[in-house]
Amino acid sequence: MRMKDAKGSISGNVDIERVKYWKESLDAVYRYLESTRGKPEHLLAKALYIEMQDLVESSLPPEMEHYLYRC
């Protein structure tokens, strides 16, 4: 188990607060996607979720991506 430093970083390279922010944003879009099931806007919500997921994954450095799904 690695220890967090004062900034919330693990190994000095991973900013946990940044990962949590992106995860919360992605979760919010997913909740919206789930709320539109069976409604006409569901396809638009699905496209929004896919785009948001791509944005999040491309915004994080490779060493941070796996933390996104672990937080």
Is this structure's pTM higher than 0.75? Answer: no
Domain count, the chain: 1
- Residues contacting 59, CB < 8 A, separation 6+: 22
* pLDDT at res. 3: 41
Classify the C-alpha dihedral 19-24-27-29 as positive or negative. Answer: negative
* pLDDT at res. 19: 81
* pLDDT at res. 20: 84
Phi, psi angles (nearest 5°) of residue 18? -65, -45
Give me the domain span that covers residue 64: 14-68
Token pair, residue 60, equals: 């994080």
Classify the C-alpha dihedral 63-12-3-55 as positive or negative. Answer: negative
Residue 8 within a domain: no
What is the tens place of the pLDDT at every residue in 6-51? 454 445 556 778 888 888 989 999 999 999 999 999 999 999 999 9
Confidence of residue 2 (pLDDT cuts 50, 70, 90): very low
